[in-house]
């Protein structure tokens, strides 16, 4: 198996291309909203992004299984708990933001190894912002096609905590 860092460029490209597919639907199509068993919404953009990402990850790493929000029922827990390494995907995180056309949605792809995230890519296609990190290489933000900039957590604890909530989940 390659190191997580060796997968990074390809996974960033996969996330960007999935984001392009999502934006084509977002910008140019009326779309139906269906509801999953848990009553959460799902659209054709979720499903197309999922199919594309899953296909590309299988090409990139045929021996690493893919666990996606949209297809998790295909892999029962008794099977998944045996996986030492797998891709974890949310092909359109923030479907409510997508539906409401507020630009707050992302494509999320992570590589999990021994229960630890060793690679993470988050792409916000409406804002053209890419965030990525691999273990031992740091975290970065890239705006559109600019050079990536290193990001990090605050070194000093804040005097007061900051709480962030999603507009879609305020209740």
- Tens of pLDDT, residues 125-146: 999 999 999 998 999 999 988 9
Judge whether residue 170 has pLDDT over 90.
no
pLDDT tens sequence across 71-87: 878 888 899 999 999 99
Which of the two residues, 28 and 64, has the higher pLDDT score? Answer: 64
What span, in angstroms and rounded, lies between the C-alpha atoms of 140 and 149? 5
Domain chopping of the chain, boundaries:
4-169
pLDDT tens sequence across 32-62: 999 988 899 999 999 999 999 999 999 999 9
Judge whether residue 167 has pLDDT over 80.
no
If one looks up domain 4-169 in CATH, what number appears? 3.30.540.10
Question: Average pLDDT in the 105-132 region?
Answer: 98
Question: Average pLDDT in the 106-113 region?
Answer: 98
């Amino acid at each position: 198996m390659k190191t997580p860092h060796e997968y990074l460029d390809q996974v960033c490209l996969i996330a960007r291309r999935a984001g392009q597919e999502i934006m084509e639907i977002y910008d140019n199509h009326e779309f139906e909203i269906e509801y999953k068993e848990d009553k959460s919404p799902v659209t054709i953009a979720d499903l197309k992004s999922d199919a594309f990402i899953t296909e590309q990850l299988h090409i990139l790493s045929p021996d690493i299984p893919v666990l996606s929000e949209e297809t998790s029922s295909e892999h029962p827990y008794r099977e998944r708990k045996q996986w030492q390494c797998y891709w974890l995907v949310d092909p359109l995180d923030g479907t409510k933001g997508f539906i409401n056309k507020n630009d707050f949605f992302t494509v999320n792809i992570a590589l999990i190894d021994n229960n630890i995230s060793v690679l993470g890519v988050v792409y916000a296609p409406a804002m053209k912002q890419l965030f990525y990190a691999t273990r031992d290489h740091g975290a970065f933000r890239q705006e559109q096609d600019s050079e990536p900039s290193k990001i990090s957590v605050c070194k000093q604890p804040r005097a007061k905590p900051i709480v962030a909530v999603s507009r879609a989940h305020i209740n």
